[in-house]
Amino acid sequence: MHATALSPDDLHAEFAGAEGYLAACSTGLPSRATRAAIIADLDARPDLHHYAAVAERCRAHFARLVSTAPERVALGSQTSVMVGILAASLPEGATVLCPEGEFSSLVLPFVHAGRGIRVRAVPLADLAEAVDAAVDLVAFSIVQSATGEVADAAAIAASSRRHGARTLCDATQAAGWLPVDASMFDALVCHTYKWLCTPRGLTFLALDDEYAAALAPIHAGWYAGEDPWAACYGADASLAASARRFDVSPAWQATVGAEPALALFADADASALHARVTGLARVFREKLGLPEPLRPTPIVTWPDPAGADLSRLTAAGIVASGRRGNARLAFHVFNDDGDVDLAVRALRA
């Protein structure tokens, strides 16, 4: 954390028009700086070298956010595309262990990889104990999308190391409120449009050096070249020695909007941010008599099979979501106590 780390109040001030928006787990809201950057880009003439520089700043911000080096970070557009790199490099007959109900983009690349690759699912709480010598890769979201449940990442990583299995952690529902250290895992993937509040279309893959050396750059294009501008034509281009060899050519406008958002969260006081958003969720649970989870999370879910509670929230002007028969709310840094009270009143009406 930098000496000049931004407080939750500093971050809150960077967002406008967030009242009643309790859906960061679906998609974040743009900050003032993101709005300004996108508008300025639309008013300017396209400059590909400028876009490339913006993409590199995005890479550096994300690396700082997850405590790794920029040269260990590849950038792309979708989670499943980046996971596909790992799936393509698994040996024939490999076993992938994942939590039950895991988000599809993390598991379907393995399910459909062919070559006899087997995907086995167990309850998240049992994931660490389920790792054995037959498991080649453990793939899990550190925060579950459907429920907000926070995994015991340290136990999962330790068990995987003991049994010689690699780990792939999806931080899409975590980065932006939960401090994440990419060095705990062999690979960490993150789409940034949720809690990091970027435009949709920018995903990162952070790789351990040893694991990166074992992967094939199956999506390699001109942007994966050591010098992208010299790698536009022909089959003899040299790929980057760093994790950039796994890059997918970035969506330029997405990176323009993402750069200030990523800088904002990389500069944040991570512990204070975690306390703020989980505290809002805790107060909401207390007011409605909902149980506290094992580990603090800003995502609140409860049974709502007919969608009645979700309808009440929507009627009150609240943006929320429903997943797997549950109502789901998310409290982020752009929310405050007023959003808690608004949701409570809607549900008690």
| SS3 letters across 6-34 | ECHHHHHCCCCCCCCECCCCCCCCCCHHH
* 304/241 same-domain check: no
Give the side-chain half-sphere CA count within 13 A for 182: 26
Q: Are residues 274 and 259 in the same domain?
A: no
pLDDT in tens, 212-264: 999 999 999 999 999 998 889 988 889 999 999 999 999 999 999 999 999 99
Which residues, in sequence order, are bridge partners of residue 74?
205
Q: What is the domain range of residue 332?
A: 8-30+269-348
Amino acid 3: pLDDT:
56
- Confidence category of residue 1, pLDDT binned at 50, 70, 90: very low
**Are 246 and 182 part of one and the same domain?**
yes
- Residues 54, 146: one domain? yes
17 & 109 share domain: no
Are residues 244 and 290 located together in one domain of the fold? no
Tokens representing 279 are 């505290």
CATH of the domain at 277: 3.90.1150.10
- 260 and 274 in a single domain? The answer is no
Residue 3 lies in a domain: no
**Type of residue numbered 151:** A
| pLDDT tens column, 82-131 | 999 999 999 999 999 999 999 999 999 999 999 999 999 999 999 999 99
